[in-house]
Chain A
């Protein structure tokens, strides 16, 4: 869960550092020495090889394929320019997938952070037995996607599931959580939020505990209520962490695949057919590699835009 966002968030500073140190070195004549150049390539070699094979080649191959028609084994046949993209962006089916993904991502991000904040705020208080709650609240960090999916499939099961039992008991109408197009999205959102909550909670709790207690003491002497303190001390003080968590949750949301595959397979009637799941089906079920490549690139651009917006909007409000 942590791995891919970490690389995401660190890309920008790393490249700028690299560029800077390179500039400094060329000024000091470092690169003029042929022997040093030789060593430099030896040291860079392994990582360039790995990055090249597993990142750069697939990236450019995807871009390349997206401009062609492909046969069933993924070989390019006819160059078609941007028509794959044009077809996608004019297809009602794809646009509905896009809309579904947006709803899912925004709902998951907002709900996860809101709940994480509430739980962390309670758990940051010094109370007897609070350690038990802290462990419980962060427990979902240790649960794999497949286990979570199976666990929630049991809960959502319309005949034997826990929710069915509860609604039966309360004489409420039965909900077909995963087969009713109106409810499937909510079921997936609930499961994702539950999965994300442990991590979000733990990170926010850590941030809250690093806020100096004298800030709260000063505020309580001056007459600030706990609620006022939450909104005017805690949230501003942990804003960098909130920013971090919101970007991670958002990117993770866009990349959601495992849960969808295990719980709904994009159904019912495409109600949960998220972008990544769609890419998977187009490529490996329909064999339409060209279209799947184009979808991948569109998704990359969307994530980049969202991240950029988040940076722009939040950097004004975040105090580092």
Chain B
């Protein structure tokens, strides 16, 4: 069951733009994650695929058939909601059986499917409980069991883990992933959490400002972000974005900040004025006397296996660096910050240099 979006657009009242020119191909059995900050339209996109929200323009195809006008139930899919949408007056078993009974399946069929689904999410012992007697994680699993029991090949999930605590989120992440692989589901998963996107997705669609910013595998998105937004959205701590320029004397020489750092590149610097992106773990920091230094330490955060150093360059730009192990700095201790060779270049509009926007989107 493949899904394809072609220039999908959504307006409200013909003025408020929610989404524009959204195109994507989701292959059968793929784990496809739509990620973006709140208000970027990601849930709206999912609801348009489900048939709960009408599509203003463009096409949604399921298995090469345009489904724009089909009601939700005719699209043969299932959806897991953020608040789980469980029926409070029904037991766990009846909640899972609800859709099957509504579709008037035979009694034995309902029995089998519900029991299998509950077994698959380890809820057999809880089948007679009401939703209010369950913990958050268990409720989440009831919602998953409902999706499993419906036997649809396409499953849509709208921020299913956002109501759970951090520990449980990690566990449910794995459960959802395993379930998807086991059942071969084509799964479209909406989240605002970049970690969920990175850890589960086959492909990620990054949405922001009503537009698709980039579609790619987690590695592509992380290593070759299409623009500053994508670069900043993925990775913790956030990537450092610093102003830079090509040296007047040597076109291979990159000057970062106001002469704080200089990097010799193997190739020509792609623009006179540009911005560079450098991941915090690509920065090196060494102690320096005040003559040699180009920055001062503002703050450090010790995380056990690594230390995050917050520093201010002489130019006034703030940088974040991740150093392995425990590193101690005094406040305002002068240091020398150096960038590694793995740099990303952006023009002043935030676009990655070397890639056109179209190429970036279809990467």
Contacts and interface: CB of A to CB of B under 8 A. Distances in A.
On whether the two chains bind one another, the answer is yes
Interface of A: 212, 214-215, 217-225, 228, 232-233, 236-237, 239, 319
B71 A220 contact: yes
B28 interface: no
Contacts of B78: 221-222
B102 A218 contact: no
Given A214-B81, A236-B87, 8 more contacts: A212-B83, A214-B83, A218-B99, A221-B75, A222-B98, A222-B150, A236-B89, A237-B87
B79 A221 contact: yes
Given A212-B83, A214-B81, A214-B83, A219 B89 contact: no
Interface in B68-96: 71-73, 75, 77-79, 81, 83, 85, 87-90
B150 A218 contact: no
B103 interface: yes
A218 B89 contact: no
Given A214-B81, A214-B83, A223 B88 contact: no
Contact of A222 (B51, B73, B83, B88): B73
Given A223-B103, A233-B87, A236-B89, A218 B71 contact: no
A222 B85 CA distance: 12
A212 B98 CA distance: 17
A221 B77 contact: yes
A221 B103 CA distance: 11
Interface of B: 50-52, 71-73, 75, 77-79, 81, 83, 85, 87-90, 98-100, 102-103, 146, 150
A228 B88 CA distance: 17
Given A223-B73, A319-B89, A217 B99 contact: no
B52 A222 contact: no
B326 to A, nearest CB: 47
Contacts of B79: 217-218, 221
B85 A220 contact: no
A221 B89 contact: no
Nearest to B71: A220
Contact of A223 (B83, B89, B90, B102): B102
Contacts of B146: 218, 222
Contacts of B51: 221
Contacts of A236: 87, 89-90
A215 B95 CA distance: 11
Nearest to A215: B85
Nearest to B82: A214
B73 A221 contact: yes
22 contacts: A214-B85, A215-B85, A217-B52, A217-B81, A221-B50, A221-B51, A221-B75, A222-B78, A222-B102, A222-B103, A223-B99, A223-B103, A224-B73, A224-B99, A224-B102, A224-B103, A225-B102, A232-B98, A236-B90, A237-B88, A239-B89, A319-B88
A319 B73 CA distance: 28
A237 B131 CA distance: 14
Which 9 A-B residue pairings sit nearest by Cβ, starting from the closest? A222-B99, A224-B102, A319-B89, A218-B85, A223-B73, A214-B85, A223-B103, A221-B72, A236-B89
Contacts of A217: 50, 52, 72, 79, 81, 85
Nearest to B76: A223
B129 to A, nearest CB: 14
Most chain A beta carbons < 10 A, residue from B51, B90, B99: B99
A155 B88 CA distance: 46
B302 to A, nearest CB: 43
